[in-house]
Structure formats: structure tokens, C-alpha cells
């Protein structure tokens, strides 16, 4: 939400806003602990969390430099006026620029009471704007993933690939790789039923590292008006999954 606000105010161009929203929104530490406990790897939380952080850093290095993010226009809301203002603000020594920008921001910030009012308006607008679609998507996703054969059909190519890699219970594991796009908790739920500790480690890591979840971050990105489509979000999700899975798998092989 903050990134969307900065984009609308002209502090980020479109590509910068999408880079920040899709790479620098990490899962909170308490929820990460819940994921670890549900996935039955709570006894190695610290090393698992550090592995996930490393995987996210690698994603942040790679994904902004390749499509679809690299093809998002680097244009500002407000056009060339904002671009020129930022160019002028970035001239001169770094420390002086930082101090001048901080003083300017403080001088133009609304009073605390007004700032609180605007923050509450933004929060409630987003809350009541996404809670309905969030519940609907979460319910439909759970029904498809756990209570219908459709989940098995959708994840069949992943299951086939995992079978080639000699992964145990490939058919049970596969939905965790694809349904994370809809809800971040699904990989952890699937991991909780697996006997393989390395695969529980990997699926729990995916719950942290995929980051594009349509029942949460994806809906918010669309809602706040970032210049990205649902299809582009799915592409970013797939790319992140392809990048982080080998990192998590290698860590799991070393640890187990």
C-alpha cells in the first residue's frame, strides 16, 4: 500500500514501484514462525529463515532485470514534471541530497492528526476493498486444491517433473508449487502431511519466498493501481519459484 501511494505521488516510476512491491515485501517474522511450525521444521527455524532470505535476495537481483518487470515502462504519474523534479533532487553529494530531501519532506508533511486521518482512510479503503475478494479466492482455492481432482490436473506437469527428479510423493507435493500463487499458506499445509523432511523444508520456503499471493499481496497490488496485470504477476510468481526452488533444494540436501 505504501509503494502504491509513493507511485501515485510521483516518487517512483512504474517499473520501480513494481520492483519494490514484488521483491521487497517479506512475510512477517511471526507468520514465518507459524509456517515453520505447521511444516514441522520449527526446530531449525533460524537456518531455514536465513535460507529463505538468501533466496529472496537472489530473486531481487535477477527479476528486475528480466521480463516481465524489465518491460514495464519506467514512466511517472505526472509525466516529465516528476521525472525532472527527481533528477534535480538527485544532483549533488549523497549526504547533502539526503538531508535536503528529508527537510523538504518534513516541511510538506501534514500535521499528525491529518496524517493519522489519511492513513486510516487508506487502510479502511483497502481493507474493505479486498476482504470480500480475498475470502472468495481463498475458499475457491482451498476447494480446488484439496477437495477436487482439478488440483491434481493443474499440477500434473509439476508432478511429472518431480517424478523425473525422483521426489517421493510427487503427486502430493506438486500442488504446493503452483497453488502458492493463490494462497501462501497452501504449500505449508501440504508440507505438514509429508514424511520427507527436505521436501517440507522446500515447501515451507516457498510459502515465504514466492511472495505473489492473489489472496493477499496480488490483490493489493492490483487494488492500489500499480502498473502490472494479473498475468504479469503470474509470470513473476513462476520466475520466483524457478529461482528459489534450487536454492532451497540445495540447502535441504546439505542440511538433511
Give alpha helix (H) positions in the chain: 2-8, 14-23, 29-38, 45-62, 80-89, 94-108, 112-146, 150-154, 156-164, 170-173, 175-178, 186-191, 197-209, 217-223, 230-255
In this predicted model, what pLDDT tens digit does every residue of 195-230 receive, in sequence order?
889 999 999 999 989 988 888 888 888 888 899 999
pLDDT of residue 85: 64
What's the domain range around 7?
2-255
Q: What is the pTM of this model?
A: 0.85
Count structural domains, the chain: 1
Q: Cβ neighbours of residue 114 under 8 Å, at least 6 residues apart? A: none
Report whether pLDDT(110) > 90: no
Judge contact between 241 and 206, C-beta under 8 A.
yes
Residue 34 burial (CB < 10 Å; 0-12/13-18/19+)? middle
Q: Are 236 and 68 spatial neighbours (Cβ–Cβ below 8 Å)? A: yes
- Nearest to 39, CA basis, from 200, 183, 216, 150: 200
Read off the pLDDT band of 93 (50, 70, 90). Answer: confident
Measured distance CA(153)–CA(155) in Å, rounded = 6
**pLDDT tens, residue by residue, 57-90:** 999 999 999 999 999 998 888 666 566 666 666 6
For residues 137 and 214, is the Cβ–Cβ distance under 8 A?
yes
Mean pLDDT of 183-189: 89
Please report the pLDDT score of residue 88 as a whole number. Answer: 64
- Tracing cell 523425473 back to the chain, one arrives at 164
Contact 138, 216 (CB under 8 A): no
Amino acid at each position: 500500500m505504501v509503494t502504491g501511494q509513493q507511485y501515485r505521488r510521483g516518487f517512483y516510476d512504474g517499473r520501480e514501484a513494481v520492483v519494490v512491491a514484488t521483491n521487497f515485501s517479506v512475510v512477517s517474522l511471526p507468520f514465518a514462525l507459524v509456517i515453520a511450525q505447521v511444516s514441522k521444521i520449527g526446530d531449525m527455524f533460524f537456518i531455514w529463515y536465513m535460507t529463505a532470505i538468501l533466496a529472496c535476495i537472489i530473486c531481487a537481483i535477477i527479476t528486475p532485470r528480466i521480463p516481465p518487470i524489465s518491460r514495464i515502462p519506467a514512466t511517472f504519474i505526472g509525466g516529465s514534471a516528476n521525472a525532472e523534479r527527481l533528477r534535480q533532487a538527485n544532483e549533488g553529494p549523497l549526504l547533502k541530497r539526503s538531508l535536503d530531501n528529508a527537510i523538504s519532506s518534513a516541511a510538506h508533511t501534514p500535521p499528525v492528526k491529518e496524517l493519522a486521518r489519511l492513513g486510516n482512510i487508506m487502510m479502511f479503503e483497502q481493507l474493505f476493498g479486498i476482504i470480500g475478494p480475498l475470502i472468495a479466492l481463498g475458499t475457491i482455492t482451498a476447494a480446488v486444491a484439496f477437495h477436487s481432482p482439478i488440483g491434481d490436473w493443474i499440477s500434473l506437469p509439476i508432478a511429472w517433473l518431480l517424478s523425473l527428479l525422483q521426489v517421493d510423493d510427487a503427486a502430493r507435493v506438486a500442488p504446493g508449487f503452483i497453488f502458492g500463487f493463490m494462497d501462501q499458506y497452501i504449500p505449508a499445509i501440504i508440507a505438514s502431511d509429508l514424511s520427507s523432511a527436505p521436501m517440507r523444508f522446500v515447501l515451507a520456503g516457498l510459502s515465504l519466498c514466492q511472495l505473489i499471493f492473489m489472496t493477499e499481496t496480488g490483490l493489493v497490488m492490483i487494488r492500489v493501481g500499480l502498473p502490472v496485470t494479473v498475468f504479469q504477476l503470474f509470470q513473476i510468481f513462476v520466475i520466483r519459484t524457478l529461482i528459489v526452488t534450487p536454492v532451497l533444494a540445495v540447502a535441504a540436501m546439505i542440511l538433511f
